[in-house]
C-alpha cells in the first residue's frame, strides 16, 4: 500500500466520518495525555481505544497487530484507553495503520470498540510514560530474605499495652508507630513528645548500613509500620512538609505492591514496589507528587519473569494481573524541627500564605469557594467533626418520629449520620458531599452516598420527607441556596414535608451566654478553660450547632435576647470574607468560621493559616464558609419556591428552621 492511497479516490461518507473520528482521537491524545501524533509514517503507532483501560487485553490486541507485521514491542499503560505498538519497519506499521484503523473489536464485556491508529514519532520514554517522578528511587533487594523474615517476626501486632509504640487500627490497614506518634487527625507529629524507646533496636544496623551505602543522608527517628491486606490501600497524599524532613523511605516486606504517584498536573505514574525493596522519596517526588495505594486485590504488573521495580510502563513487555499478598511496610522518616523551606510553596504548609477569600461574585466563584471552604474542610475535619456530633436535637427527632412508618426520607447533608437511625420505622437515605463523612455513615450501617446537594441523584417525588440540617447556610449565593431548597422540594412527593435548619445571624449571647457554656459535654473537660479568661476557640461553634441538652432555651428569643446586627448590610463585591471569632456574635452574614482541629499539641507548629487571634492555639485551623440567616430570610427563600406551603417557621438554639410541605 502506498502513502497516496487516500488521495486516489473520492472518500465515501463513512470514510469521511471515520477520518473525522481519527483526527479527533489524535487531538484528544494530545490534549489529555500529551501524546503527539504525526501525519507521516513512522515505526510506532498509538492505538486509541485499544488499551487496558478500555477493557482490551493484550491477548486480544497483539494477534491483531501481528497480522500486519513483526511487532517489536507493545506497550499497554495501565488504566489507559490506548496502547503503543512498534513494528520492526515503517512498512509494517503503515500496513497496520491502514488495516486496523476503524477496525471494530469487542472488549472483555462484549461491547463494540473501534480502534483509531495514529503514527507517533517520539521515543516512548519521551512521551512521559517511562520516567519515575524526579527524586524517586526504588532500590531492589535491599535486604535479604532472612532479614525480611526477622523484621516481620519482630512486629507484635497483638501487643497494645506496651506504651513504647502506638498501634492504631485504621479503616484500611493496621498501623504501629515508633519514635513519635503520627496523628492522623492533623497529619503531623507531636515533636515535643517522642515516644519512649525510640525506634526498634532491630532497625538500627539496617539504617546504619543504608546511611553508609548512601541511600539516605540522615538517620530517621520515626517509624510507621503499616500492614496492608489485599484490598487495603492508602489515599493519595503528600507527607506533611512541616512534619518531616526531605527523605522519606519505605521498605516493602511480604509482598509487592503498586504505588501510584501523581503530579499536580494530573500525570500519574504507577510504581512497582517489589518485595524487599526500598522506596526512597526525596525532592520533587516527596514534596510535590502525591503517593497512594489504590485499594484493590490485583495490580496490573509486568508479566515477564524478570520483573523490575519502577514504573509499570517502563518495561515494554507484557502486562498481566498480580494478586496482592499481605504487604508490610516500614516507613522511616525524620521529624522536622524547623519549618520547611522547600521549592514548592504552593503545596508547602510551612510556606502557605493564605489570604482570606473574597465574597463570590459569580456562580463559579461561589462554587469554588464552597469547594475550598466547605467540601475540602469537611473532608479534612470529618473524623474530629464527627466525634463532636453525637446528640440529636429534640425538635428534629420529633419531626422524624412523627413520620408514618415506612416513609422514605432523604437526609441531604447527613454528616456523620446522626439522624439516620433515629426512627427505625423509616427508610432513611443520607447523602453528603464528604466521602469521609459518608464512610462514617456506612460504618454505622446506614445507607449513604456522596453527592452535591444541588443535584441529588434521587428520583423526583420519591421521598415522603426530607431533612436538611445545617446545610443550606454553606451555599455562597442566594441563587444557590434557593436551588438547594428547590432540590429538596423536587425529591418530595406531593404532600411530603421537609425540615430545614440553618444557622441564625441572631444569637442569644447577652442573657444566655452562661447557659450555652453549661450543660454540654465540652464543659466537662473544659470548664476551667472557659471560666478563666483563656479564649478557647472552636468550642462555641460546636456547641451552638450541636447543643446537647434541654438546658438551653428553645423558644424564639425576644428581640432583647437576640443580637441583630448587619442583617440589612449587603456584601460589597471584592470584599474579603471576615473571619468569625468563635463565641462572639456575628458581624457579617457571610463569613468564615474557624474549626480548630484537635489532636496536635505541638507547641511550635509553624503554620497558622490566617488565624484571627488564636495564635496561641496549637492545632491547625480550618475555615468553613457560612451564610448565616437573618430572621425571616429562610422563610422568604422558601416562599420563592414553587409548589410549597410553609407549615412552621421557628427558632431553635441558634438556628432558623422551617417545615414546608409540597402541595
- Tell me how far apart the alpha carbons of residues 449 and 306 are, in angstroms, rounded to a whole number: 43
Q: Give which of 354, 290, 12, 363 is closest to 136, Cα–Cα.
A: 290
199 or 348: CB nearest Zn ion: 348
342 or 397: CB nearest Zn ion: 342
Q: What is the full DSSP assignment across 8-57?
A: GSPPPHHHHHHHHHHHHHHHHHHHHH-PPEESS--SEEEEET-SGGGT--
**Residue carrying C-alpha cell 488499551:** 51
> What's the closest the beta carbon of residue 512 comes to Mn ion, in angstroms?
46
Which stretch of DSSP H or E encloses residue 376?
Answer: helix 376-387
- Tell me how far apart the alpha carbons of residues 148 and 558 are, in angstroms, rounded to a whole number: 71
Q: Which does 553 bind (CB under 5 to 8 A by kind): Mn ion, Zn ion, none?
A: none
> What's the closest the beta carbon of residue 350 comes to Zn ion, in angstroms?
5
Q: Identify the residue among 107, 229, 239, 372 touching Mn ion (CB under 5 A).
A: 239
> What's the closest the beta carbon of residue 135 comes to Zn ion, in angstroms?
13
> What's the closest the beta carbon of residue 349 comes to Zn ion, in angstroms?
7
* Contact stretch for Mn ion (CB under 5 A) within 116-124, 233-241, 351-359, 638-646: 233-241
Cell of residue 45, nine digits? 503507532
Q: Identify the residue among 137, 342, 536, 556 touching Zn ion (CB under 5 A).
A: 342
Q: Give which of 361, 341, 362 is closest to 351, Cα–Cα.
A: 341
Q: Which residues are CB-neighbours of 114 under 8 A, at least 6 positions away?
A: 21, 49, 102, 103, 104
> What's the closest the beta carbon of residue 162 comes to Mn ion, in angstroms?
25
- Tell me how far apart the alpha carbons of residues 588 and 578 are, in angstroms, rounded to a whole number: 7
Asked if 247 and 286 touch (Cβ cutoff 8 Å), the reply is: yes
Q: Which does 239 bind (CB under 5 to 8 A by kind): Zn ion, Mn ion, none?
A: Mn ion
- Asked if residue 490 binds Zn ion (CB under 5 A), the reply is no
Q: Identify the residue among 35, 340, 412, 489 touching Zn ion (CB under 5 A).
A: 340
Q: Which does 340 bind (CB under 5 to 8 A by kind): Zn ion, Mn ion, none?
A: Zn ion
Q: Which does 241 bind (CB under 5 to 8 A by kind): Mn ion, Zn ion, none?
A: Zn ion
> What's the closest the beta carbon of residue 286 comes to Mn ion, in angstroms?
9
Q: Which does 348 bind (CB under 5 to 8 A by kind): Mn ion, Zn ion, none?
A: Zn ion
Asked if 142 and 277 touch (Cβ cutoff 8 Å), the reply is: yes
147 or 239: CB nearest Mn ion: 239
268 - beta bridge partners? Answer: 262
> What's the closest the beta carbon of residue 237 comes to Mn ion, in angstroms?
6
> What's the closest the beta carbon of residue 331 comes to Mn ion, in angstroms?
7
Q: Identify the residue among 348, 369, 396, 591 touching Zn ion (CB under 5 A).
A: 348
Other Cβ atoms less than 10 A from the Cβ of 352: the count is: 14
* Contact stretch for Zn ion (CB under 5 A) within 12-20, 70-78, 332-340, 356-364: 332-340
Q: Which residues are CB-neighbours of 531 under 8 A, at least 6 positions away?
A: none
* Contact stretch for Mn ion (CB under 5 A) within 235-243, 252-260, 354-362, 424-432: 235-243
> What's the closest the beta carbon of residue 223 comes to Zn ion, in angstroms?
22
State whether residue 77 is helix, strand or coil: coil
Strand blocks (E) in 294-381: 298-302, 310-311, 319-323, 327-335
Q: Which does 47 bind (CB under 5 to 8 A by kind): Zn ion, Mn ion, none?
A: none
- Tell me how far apart the alpha carbons of residues 498 and 478 are, in angstroms, rounded to a whole number: 19
* Contact stretch for Zn ion (CB under 5 A) within 107-115, 206-214, 234-242, 366-374: 234-242
> What's the closest the beta carbon of residue 259 comes to Mn ion, in angstroms?
9
Asked if 483 and 638 touch (Cβ cutoff 8 Å), the reply is: no
Q: Give which of 21, 7, 5 is closest to 98, Cα–Cα.
A: 5
* Contact stretch for Mn ion (CB under 5 A) within 238-246, 265-273, 393-401, 476-484: 238-246
333 or 631: CB nearest Mn ion: 333
620 or 654: CB nearest Mn ion: 620
**Residue carrying C-alpha cell 497483539:** 62
Q: Which residues are CB-neighbours of 506 under 8 A, at least 6 positions away?
A: 557, 562, 563, 564, 630, 631, 651
Count of residues in contact with Mn ion, rule CB under 5 A = 1
* Contact stretch for Mn ion (CB under 5 A) within 171-179, 184-192, 236-244, 367-375: 236-244
Q: Identify the residue among 183, 191, 241, 262 touching Zn ion (CB under 5 A).
A: 241
> What's the closest the beta carbon of residue 240 comes to Mn ion, in angstroms?
9
* Contact stretch for Mn ion (CB under 5 A) within 234-242, 364-372, 529-537, 610-618: 234-242
197 or 345: CB nearest Zn ion: 345
Length in residues, the chain: 663
Asked if 181 and 192 touch (Cβ cutoff 8 Å), the reply is: no
Contacting positions for Mn ion (CB under 5 A): 239
Contacting positions for Zn ion (CB under 5 A): 241, 340, 342, 348
Amino acid at each position: 500500500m502506498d502513502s497516496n492511497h487516500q488521495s486516489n479516490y473520492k472518500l465515501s461518507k463513512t470514510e469521511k466520518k471515520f477520518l473525522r473520528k481519527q483526527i479527533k482521537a489524535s487531538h484528544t491524545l494530545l490534549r489529555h495525555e500529551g501524546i503527539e501524533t504525526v501525519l507521516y509514517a513512522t515505526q510506532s503507532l498509538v492505538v486509541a481505544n485499544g488499551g487496558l483501560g478500555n477493557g482490551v487485553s493484550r491477548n486480544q490486541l497483539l494477534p491483531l497487530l501481528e497480522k500486519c507485521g513483526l511487532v517489536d514491542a507493545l506497550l499497554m499503560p495501565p488504566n489507559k484507553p490506548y496502547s503503543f505498538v512498534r513494528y520492526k519497519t515503517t512498512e509494517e506499521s503503515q500496513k497496520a495503520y491502514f488495516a486496523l484503523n476503524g477496525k471494530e473489536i469487542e472488549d472483555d464485556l462484549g461491547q463494540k470498540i473501534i480502534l483509531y491508529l495514529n503514527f507517533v514519532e517520539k521515543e516512548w520514554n519521551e512521551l512521559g510514560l517511562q520516567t519515575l517522578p524526579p527524586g524517586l528511587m526504588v532500590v531492589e533487594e535491599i535486604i535479604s530474605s532472612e532479614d525480611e523474615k526477622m523484621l516481620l517476626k519482630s512486629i507484635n501486632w497483638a501487643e497494645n499495652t506496651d506504651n513504647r509504640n502506638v498501634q492504631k487500627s485504621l479503616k484500611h490497614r493496621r498501623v504501629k508507630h515508633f519514635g513519635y506518634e503520627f496523628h492522623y487527625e492533623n497529619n503531623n507529629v507531636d515533636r515535643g513528645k517522642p515516644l519512649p524507646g525510640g525506634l526498634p533496636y532491630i532497625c538500627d544496623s539496617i539504617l546504619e548500613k543504608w546511611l553508609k551505602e548512601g541511600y539516605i543522608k540522615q538517620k530517621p527517628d520515626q517509624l510507621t509500620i503499616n500492614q496492608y491486606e489485599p484490598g487495603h490501600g492508602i489515599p493519595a497524599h503528600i507527607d506533611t512538609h512541616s512534619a518531616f524532613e526531605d527523605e522519606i523511605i519505605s521498605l516493602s516486606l511480604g509482598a509487592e505492591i503498586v504505588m501510584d504517584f501523581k503530579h499536580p498536573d494530573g500525570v500519574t505514574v504507577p510504581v512497582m514496589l517489589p518485595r524487599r525493596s526500598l522506596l526512597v522519596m526525596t525532592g520533587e517526588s516527596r514534596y510535590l507528587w502525591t503517593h497512594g495505594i489504590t485499594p484493590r486485590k490485583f495490580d496490573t504488573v509486568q508479566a515477564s519473569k524478570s520483573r523490575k521495580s519502577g514504573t509499570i510502563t517502563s518495561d515494554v513487555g507484557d502486562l498481566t494481573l498480580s494478586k496482592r499478598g499481605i504487604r508490610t511496610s516500614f516507613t522511616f522518616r525524620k521529624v522536622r524541627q524547623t519549618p520547611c523551606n522547600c521549592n514548592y510553596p504552593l503545596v508547602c504548609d510551612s510556606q502557605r500564605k493564605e489570604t482570606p477569600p473574597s465574597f463570590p461574585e459569580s456562580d463559579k466563584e461561589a462554587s469554588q469557594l464552597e469547594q475550598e471552604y466547605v467540601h475540602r474542610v469537611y473532608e479534612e475535619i470529618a473524623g474530629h467533626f464527627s466525634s463532636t456530633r453525637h446528640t440529636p436535637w429534640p425538635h428534629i427527632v420529633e419531626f422524624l418520629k412523627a413520620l408514618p412508618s415506612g416513609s422514605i426520607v432523604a437526609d441531604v447533608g447527613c454528616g456523620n449520620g446522626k439522624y439516620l437511625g433515629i426512627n427505625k420505622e423509616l427508610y432513611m437515605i443520607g447523602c453528603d458531599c464528604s466521602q469521609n463523612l459518608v464512610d462514617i455513615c456506612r460504618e454505622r450501617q446506614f445507607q449513604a452516598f456522596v453527592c452535591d446537594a444541588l443535584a441529588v441523584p434521587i428520583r423526583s417525588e420519591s421521598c415522603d420527607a426530607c431533612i436538611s440540617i445545617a446545610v443550606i447556610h454553606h451555599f455562597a449565593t442566594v441563587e444557590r441556596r434557593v436551588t438547594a431548597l428547590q432540590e429538596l422540594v423536587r425529591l418530595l412527593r406531593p404532600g411530603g414535608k421537609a425540615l430545614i435548619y440553618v444557622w441564625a445571624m441572631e444569637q442569644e449571647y447577652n442573657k444566655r451566654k452562661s447557659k450555652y457554656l453549661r450543660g454540654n459535654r465540652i464543659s466537662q473537660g473544659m470548664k476551667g478553660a472557659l471560666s478563666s479568661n483563656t479564649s478557647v476557640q472552636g468550642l462555641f461553634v460546636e456547641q451552638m450547632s450541636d447543643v446537647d441538652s434541654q438546658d438551653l432555651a428553645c423558644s424564639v428569643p425576644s428581640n432583647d435576647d437576640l443580637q441583630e446586627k448587619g442583617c440589612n448590610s449587603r456584601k460589597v463585591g471584592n470584599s474579603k470574607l471576615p473571619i468569625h471569632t468563635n463565641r462572639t456574635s456575628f458581624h457579617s452574614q457571610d463569613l468564615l468560621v474557624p474549626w480548630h482541629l484537635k489532636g496536635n499539641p505541638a507547641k511550635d507548629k509553624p503554620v497558622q493559616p490566617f488565624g484571627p487571634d488564636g495564635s496561641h492555639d496549637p492545632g491547625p485551623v480550618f475555615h468553613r464558609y457560612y451564610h448565616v440567616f437573618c430572621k425571616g430570610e429562610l422563610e422568604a427563600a422558601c416562599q420563592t419556591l414553587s409548589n410549597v406551603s410553609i407549615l412552621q417557621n421557628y427558632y431553635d438554639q441558634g438556628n432558623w428552621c422551617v417545615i414546608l410541605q409540597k402541595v
